[in-house]
Homo-oligomer: A and B are copies of this chain.
Amino acid sequence: MAESRKPVISVHDLAKNYGELKVLRKIDMDIYKGEVVSVIGPSGSGKSTFLRCLNYLEELTSGEIDIGGVSLKGIDEDKHNKKLNEKAAKVIRKNVGMVFQQFNLWPHKTVLENVMECPVQVKKANKEETKKKAMELLARVGMDGKADAYPTQLSGGQQQRVAIARTLAMEPEVILFDEPTSALDPEFVGEVLNVMKDLAQAGMTMIVVTHEMGFAAEVANRVCFMDGGYVIEDGTPEEVFKHPKSDRAKQFFSKILNV
């Protein structure tokens, strides 16, 4: 990690409440270009919420997120931040892509149309060019053979690979993955993880919420363990898995790592 460079994403004091419920409490995190950060932790610890805040799919309660010079701010500090956030989100979403657990492909469009939709509609890109690029991306995830299929005709693993291609089509600097393999049949997990490995090797900056400890250990160069809305552990996979500092992490790993 090159601490001297400017971080791609910089999170300060981020907190998020749902009414009374404090889901994120006080998160500080800098993420640098080329990092692959794996976020792990028990159910309900706030992993998804954290990811969703980075993309402004959730309103921030307080604190600040800075991405590429544009920032989102908590509305507790100032109600008017909401309007500003909505503007900022337009820029941020161009830099930050997201891949969901449930793939969320649009079922009424073919694979190719799914990939082309946003470049054409949002970036107003040329149709012919976009199509060429979309086919390249589909080839990269091994899905060029299914360009004209509808999502429901694909297996989960294939859908997720298309979803990744769709995100790549917007040429983001960072991609957020929220449990990208946990809705998949075990046999298809591998193919999606391989695509992600390739992305990591190609230098893509990625934040991955996952239960796949194998992937976290092998591919990530940084692991964050969350619990109760806090980031409790943050370090290399070696540090976090082998020598967790907190009891909560120790306990969690003991449950997950052996049946």
Contact = CB atoms under 8 A, between A and B. Distances in A.
Q: For A189, A255, A258, which residue has the most chain B Cβ atoms within 10 angstroms? A: A255
Q: Interface majority SS on A: helix, strand, loop or mixed?
A: helix
A190 B193 CA distance: 25
Interface string A229-259: 0000000000000000000000010011011
Contact of A43 (B43, B185, B212): B185
Stoichiometry, as copies per complex, reads 2
Nearest to A214: B259
B43 A259 contact: no
A212 B186 CA distance: 10
Interface string A86-102: 00000000000000000
A106 interface: no
Contact of A259 (B218, B256, B258): B218
B190 A259 contact: yes
A186 B256 contact: yes
Interface string A167-211: 000000000000000000111011001000000000000000001
A142 interface: no
Interface string A40-69: 001100000000000000000000000000
A227 to B, nearest CB: 12
Contacts of A259: 189-190, 193, 212, 214-215, 218
A115 B185 CA distance: 31
Contact of A255 (B190, B211, B218, B256): B190
A256 B193 CA distance: 13
A255 B193 contact: no
Nearest to A256: B186
Contacts of A256: 186-187
